[in-house]
Structure 1
Amino acid sequence: MYELQQISATTLSLPEDNYIYSIAPCAPGALAAISSDDSLRIFDVNLDLGTSVISPKSHNEGVTCLRSYSTSDSQLVTTGGRDGKAKLWDIRAGSMVLEIETNKNFPVLSVACNPHTNTIVTGTELVSSQAVVALWDIRSANAPRLQYVESHNDDITELQYHPTQHNILLSGSTDGLVNVYDTTITDEDDALVQVINHGSVHHAGFLSNSAIYALSHDEHFSVHPVTNPDSTEQEPEPEPVEFNDLREPLACEYVVQLCMGAQVPFIAAGNKIDKRLDLVPLISGPNWQFDQENLWRLPGAHGEEVVRSVYLDDKTQSVFTCGEDGYVRAWKPNGGENQAQTGFKSSRPKERKQKDRFRPY
């Protein structure tokens, strides 16, 4: 086990009794944050350098989600809100550059971004027995260029693109399903190339080009192989790895999310009673498993409050967390630069190749 120490903390100048939903990278050396006051704020990774308020009210009826849309020549972030809108913000200009409005203003609960195809995807709350995955071309965003309206029958809580195949999109929902689509196909039935039944989805995404993870709202976790729809071989598909409830094996009370490091993913597992957060490496070879001997521990974490979001900054070898105590906190390894480098990367063997709505815990 390695131990991190808190090196700085900030409230981002939030009004009292507010807390921070999520943080995400938005520019070199800077992170974005959305909070319970519905603001969108930008702050330097050196937390002592202050905060910029991009919008004190990013959405009229509650901001819900945040994703980076940054490219090599732009610094953009996307937010979604309960007002039925997704917005694209230019960090350099400090202003909104695009507003997308869902059909009948269905509340937006999740977004995904693909700069390679100029696409923002919105996932909505279930309204009138319909939850919609809509793909929008930001160059012509008056109407979605593609919609999937029958694949989920409850709130869409997660959206993510495949790491290398820009036509492959994943969605997760509280209906228990993780769906994978080929977005070059307009017919919804034909576009759906894989369906995973996991349980009410808190988070889901691609671990790699060939693996999908799913985390439920009751802390059940699993890893599934990505199917190849073009395969003609009759070999059986590899079986998924079912970890079931992570709370006992990881000695935690709740799971925040899965975090992607430079070489290894980590499960962020929180314990309010013990006031700690553990980052547990998830390694493959030959089977997916947790490397608890090399976990990173953040003692104190956010006290007795829930940690909401975690970001691993491999460039600075730092960990950033935010939570319901209203703070962003920065952490570094106790052992200095060498331990930081080995700790972030040594765990992976060489491969064979309103508070009620958003409180998920």
Structure 2
Amino acid sequence: MDIFENEEADKDTVEENELEEQFPKKYDLMTEIEVSLKKTYINKISGTKTLKYSIILPDNTIEVYEVNDSSLSRVCSMSGHEKTVTETVFNPNDDNILFSTSEDGLVKMWDTRAGGSCVLDYKDEEEKIIRPYECLDVSYNGRVLCTGSQLVEDDAYLVFWDQRAPKPLGGYWNTHTDDVTQVKFHKEKVEILATGSVDGLVNVFNIMEQTEDEALTHTLNAKCAVDKLAWVGGAAVACLTQAHQLQLWSTASARCALHCERQHIAGTMKRSRADDCYLVDTVTSVGGRPVLLAGSYGGEEKTLRALVVAGGRLLPYANFARNRQLVRCCHHDQARDLLVTAGESGIVSVWRGVPDHTGLDDADDLDHISGIDADLRDGDHVDMDASGDSDESGESDDSEDEDGSEDGDSSEDGDGSDDGDGSDDDNKSDDGDKSDDGNKSDDCAKSDDTDKSDNSVNSDDSDKSKVSDKPDDSVTHKKSGPLEHLDTADSNKQETLSKTEVSNKAYDSDKMDSSDESFESSETEGGEVMDDVSGKLTGALARLQARRHRPY
């Protein structure tokens, strides 16, 4: 007990005037509101482009607020879930429509114009087993929903819904082996989905493919339970782990471009104790850079700071000196540079960014995500280790060669380079101890299964996908499956690639560029595109039922 009493409290490592200089971006506290007279814990927030925000209260009530004339006002309050509400997301195309998930296994649609009434329940009437949902997201066009479930009888489900119909369209259950904690649709492509789980995996799907196995384009091994995911730029995913690590993954090359340990993050925040550092979420700056919001448990739990990724490094960005609580969630309006935070004291705060001339908000030198994709093409992996020093894998390939693995960018295409035991890429993934970041974490518990096995999701299931934190040269991009009719209205633009033709091609950085026609989602008037989507997903459900002889 004396040890803890004598332990030095977390504090700033520089003087206040130095903080002002080292954190150049300024945010003014525009307004804030305490949602209850009692101390109320808020850990989820969702927002719209019209400045509406939903929060979840401990009593499973959902409240919606709106920013008007520099003030926050409550729009409505809604309740109806019987168990813990886990996520709320607005329809991107209609900010009056809000979706929610809960551990009661229901997805609900709410209309804020009707006093917050529930207008539709989404559920599988034929399923006897309740799937407690942990997370939810809606595609950028507002028509496809995806929910992620807790582990139910050894299966963790990703369930797809058409927002117009109460019955599920289809689902995946082979690619995660523990609770699904995050599902995030791409910001511009309805068919691209990233998911994260307690199993330590980040999966990227192209749900236009016909089966779950074909839809899984990349499995990225975070090696720790995934807490938060966010799309950054056109082809990168930011991952926060429950070990308080930041990882930036390129979905173009399936490599970890930046890995920051808790100690390095605390050091960049200018705080003395890494153990008191916590991570909130990753947002995108006005200039398109990844920005990490982080705080400290130490002192009065008021420290809140933002760190920016620039030039492949994590740098001080903003200090929220007027913060009054331990922050648990945030939402950033990139166009207006408005940041909304909420947390354990039940305070919702709105911060307005002040335009700066530091260059950190400029996008001129960005290559999708602040040069990270460029670093990857050069073969560099930037790791901020526990000591705060950086390491670039492009300069340390000798250490990997000792283990018998080669850098992803130098491997032979097609069949790929052999791993240590000589197996080829079609049947292998990189061993955990050979990954770019496998030995970087002291906070993340490493099991033999993670670092010494072949990292397959389930070794006794031939349908399970391989896990790798290097490029998967056997990924296929055949245009078919659940969302293939997205492209029906513009089929002349589509590039037809057979599995044989692309099986030996690496997933280069242009594959997910907005100009890449092979990932282009056609738009038609009157919702015709999504009618085709729903029909195709329903067909996929029938195929999955026939294959597994069970409800999707």
| TM-score normalised by structure 1 residue count | 0.83
Q: 1:260 to 1:86 in 2, by over 3 A?
A: farther
Task: Determine the structure 2 residue equivalent to 1:205.
Answer: 230
Matches of 1:185 and 1:316 in 2, distance apart? 37
After TM superposition, list the pairs within 5 Å mapping 1:281-296 onto structure 2: 281-283=308-310, 285=311, 288-292=312-316, 295-296=317-318
After TM superposition, list the pairs within 5 Å mapping 1:159-238 onto structure 2: 159-198=183-222, 199-227=224-252
Judging by fraction of residues, say which structure has more helix.
2
Alignment partner of 1:148 out of 148, 169, 172: 172
The answer on whether the counterparts of 1:27 and 1:75 sit within 8 Å (CA) in structure 2 is no
User: What is the DSSP-based 3-state SS (H/G/I as helix, E as strand, rest coil) of the residue aligned with 1:133?
Assistant: strand
After TM superposition, list the pairs within 5 Å mapping 1:322-337 onto structure 2: 322-332=342-352
Q: 1:127 to 1:60 in 2, by over 3 A?
A: same
Task: Determine the structure 2 residue equivalent to 1:231.
Answer: none
Matches of 1:317 and 1:226 in 2, distance apart? 26
Q: 1:344 to 1:314 in 2, by over 3 A?
A: farther
Matches of 2:268 and 2:88 in 1, distance apart? 28
User: What is the DSSP-based 3-state SS (H/G/I as helix, E as strand, rest coil) of the residue aligned with 2:267?
Assistant: coil
Q: 1:262 to 1:30 in 2, by over 3 A?
A: same
Q: What's the CA shift for 1:156?
A: 0.4
Query: Over residues 132-188 of structure 1, what are the superposed CA-to-partner deviations in whole Å (9 max), with x where a residue is unaligned?
Result: 00111122232x212111111111000011222211111100000000111112311
Stretches of 4+ aligned residues off by more than 6 angstroms: none
Q: Which of the two has higher C-alpha Rg?
A: 2
Q: What's the CA shift for 1:78?
A: 1.5
The answer on whether the counterparts of 1:146 and 1:186 sit within 8 Å (CA) in structure 2 is no
Matches of 1:133 and 1:161 in 2, distance apart? 12
**Which amino acid in the other structure matches residue 276 of structure 1?**
T
Matches of 1:344 and 1:95 in 2, distance apart? 46
Q: CA RMSD in A?
A: 2.5
User: What is the DSSP-based 3-state SS (H/G/I as helix, E as strand, rest coil) of the residue aligned with 1:185?
Assistant: coil
**Which amino acid in the other structure matches residue 105 of structure 2?**
G
Matches of 2:134 and 2:297 in 1, distance apart? 26
Q: What's the CA shift for 1:331?
A: 2.6
Q: 1:344 to 1:172 in 2, by over 3 A?
A: farther
Matches of 2:160 and 2:228 in 1, distance apart? 20
In structure 2, the gaps of 5 or more residues are 1-22, 272-276, 369-552
Alignment partner of 2:60 out of 38, 44, 47: 38
Q: What's the CA shift for 1:219?
A: 0.9
Task: Determine the structure 2 residue equivalent to 1:81.
Answer: 102
Structure 1 residue 242 corresponds to structure 2 residue 259 = yes
Task: Determine the structure 2 residue equivalent to 1:22.
Answer: 44
In structure 1, the gaps of 5 or more residues are 229-236, 334-338, 354-361
Query: Over residues 265-288 of structure 1, what are the superposed CA-to-partner deviations in whole Å (9 max), with x where a residue is unaligned?
Result: 3100111325211111223x4xx2
Matches of 2:74 and 2:82 in 1, distance apart? 22
**Which amino acid in the other structure matches residue 243 of structure 2?**
D
The answer on whether the counterparts of 2:33 and 2:72 sit within 8 Å (CA) in structure 1 is no
Pick which of 33-42 and 17-26 moved more: 17-26
Query: Identity, % of aligned pairs?
Result: 22
Q: 1:307 to 1:58 in 2, by over 3 A?
A: farther
Q: What's the CA shift for 1:52?
A: 2.8
**Which amino acid in the other structure matches residue 178 of structure 1?**
V
